[in-house]
Amino acid sequence: MHKITLIPGDGTGPEISEAAKRVIEATGVPITWDIQEAGQDIFEKEGTPLPQRVIDSIKKNKVALKGPVTTPVGKGFRSVNVALRQNLDLFCCLRPCKTFKGTRTRYEDIDLVIIRENTEDLYAGIEFNKGSEDAGKLISLIKELSGKVIRPDSGISIKPISVFATERIVKFAFEFSRRNKRKKVTAVHKANIMKYSDGLFLETAREVAKGYPDIEFEDKIIDNLCMQLVQKPELYDVIVLPNLYGDIVSDLAAGLIGGLGLAPGANLGDEFAVFEAVHGSAPKYKGLNKVNPLAMILSGIMMLRHLGEPRAAERLDTAVTSLIAEGKHVTYDMKPRPDDPTAATTSMVADAIIEKLNYSPNGN
Residues annotated as catalytic (active site), given as ranges: 123, 190, 223, 247
Instruction: Compute the least distance from the CB of residue 274 to ligand NAD, in Å.
Output: 9
The whole-angstrom separation of Cα 317 and Cα 62 is 23
Phi-psi region of 170 (alpha: psi -120 to 50; beta: other; left: phi over 0): alpha
3-state secondary structure (DSSP) of residue 231: helix
Stretch (H or E) spanning 206? helix 198-209
Please report the DSSP string for 165-186 in residue order: HHHHHHHHHHHHHHHTT--EEE
The whole-angstrom separation of Cα 76 and Cα 74 is 7
CB of 199 or CB of 255, closer to ligand NAD: 255
Helix H segments across 232-289? 243-256
CB 95 within 8 Å of CB 276: no
Instruction: Compute the least distance from the CB of residue 114 to ligand NAD, in Å.
Output: 14
CB 39 within 8 Å of CB 96: no
Residues in contact with ligand NAD by CB under 6 A are 68-71, 81, 260-261, 276, 279-283, 291-292, 295, 333
CB of 242 or CB of 265, closer to ligand NAD: 265
Instruction: Compute the least distance from the CB of residue 283 to ligand NAD, in Å.
Output: 6
Instruction: Compute the least distance from the CB of residue 333 to ligand NAD, in Å.
Output: 4
CB of 289 or CB of 321, closer to ligand NAD: 289
Residue whose Cβ sits closest to ligand NAD? 280
CB of 81 or CB of 204, closer to ligand NAD: 81
